Amino acid sequence: MQQMHKDNHYVPQVYLRQWATEGKIPTYGLLVPHHKVPLWKRHSLKGIAFHQHLYTQIVGGTETDDLERWLDREFEAPAERAITLAVTDQRLTPDDWKVLVRFAFAQDVRTPARLREFLHRQAQAMQSMLDETLQNAVTKLTHGNLSVHPGKTTSASGFPLKLLVEDQADGTATLRAETVVGRAMWHWSLRHLLTNTIAKMPYKGWSILKAAPGCSWPTSDNPLIRLNYIDDQRYDFGGGWGVPNGDVLLPLSPTHLLHRCAGRRPPFRGHHLDLATTQRIARIIVEHADRYVFAREECDIREIRERTVSLALHSAERETWASWHAEQAKAEIGG
């Protein structure tokens, strides 16, 4: 029997290895409990950028790590060879480029930062979606195209939604839609994005750029950057994969950067950026980080981004993740 994977790494170790030395990676924490915490701390690759049960699912009342294994099989494992080829300046085949882009897209949607964005967005939009679902269900019921049973999920797509019929005293019935904005819904979204939306991703126009000689880039726990850039004072991280003149950036090593700018011809692979552009990208990588910045060597990044020192915030976040699995499992089981 295969061992259950409970420590789910949302930034794969095969990726972070490019910044590690002897299995340790210098890490700058952006949320710490007190000022005595060192600015940088060396972590093992196994001991950083993971949460327990982030990808665990409850299926038929039983825990499963199928999503974790699927992410590894479909995106992480295939990327190991392609990343190695890219960062050692070896030839990449069209299939290698596709593997890199698939890895980048998966990295865009699987982090805790994206989880929080997803939950916030769904909490705002859920009522209107449920109203629309109920209207469609009533229409199908009227025409005999839908059979609803109490407590049974009727979504053929696997979306975690229940349509229930409640008999009323006057002989009528009430149709109710139930769902929980949580882990199960996020997992459904991940599967959908990484099996359907990913098929529409552009696989042409990519290049691998190199840092200015003598310079290096960090990376982070939120490493895929979708950038809307106008100038040094006007840019944001709300870009898309196909937005004209929108940049997609993913550091592959301290000196290599996967890049695409929609609508622009890419520079030749291996093009060395100038010092100012290299430093600008380094700043953007740090600004886009969620809780951790990783680097090959320790450096002073406080001018770019000061860490938050708060025992209350740090403790609250630890407690949230400590109770994450129990709370989500209860919701998924229906308790």
Each residue's pLDDT tens digit, 30-43: 999 999 999 999 99
Backbone angles phi, psi at 214, to 5 degrees: 85, -5
pLDDT computed for residue 154 by the predictor? 47
Q: What does the pLDDT average to over 227-234?
A: 91
Domain locations along the chain = 7-110+202-333, 119-183
Instruction: Report the percentage of the chain scoring pLDDT > 90.
Output: 66
Asked if 12 contacts 5 with a C-beta cutoff of 8 angstroms, the reply is no
- 73-77, 194-198, 239-243, 317-321: which range is least confident on average? 239-243
Task: State the pLDDT confidence band at 269, using cuts at 50, 70 and 90.
Answer: confident
Question: d(Cα 304, Cα 316) in Å, to the nearest integer?
Answer: 25
Q: In whole angstroms, give the CA distance from residue 179 to residue 163.
A: 9
**What are the pLDDT digits (tens) for 45-67?**
999 999 999 999 888 889 999 99
* Phi, psi dihedral angles at 24 (to 5 degrees): -115, 145
Amino acid (one-letter) located at 52: Q
Q: Which of 30-44, 166-180, 193-207, 216-230 has the lowest mean pLDDT?
A: 166-180
Q: How confident is the model at residue 100 (pLDDT cuts 50, 70, 90)?
A: very high
How confident is the model at residue 150, as a pLDDT?
45
Helix (H) or strand (E) holding 38: none
The radius of gyration of the chain from alpha carbons, rounded to an integer in Å, stands at 23
Tell me the helix, strand and coil percentages in the chain, rounded to 5: 40, 20, 40
- Asked whether residue 102 carries a pLDDT value surpassing 70, the answer given is yes
- Express each pLDDT in 176-188 by its tens digit: 656 667 899 899 9
- Name the residue type at position 262: A
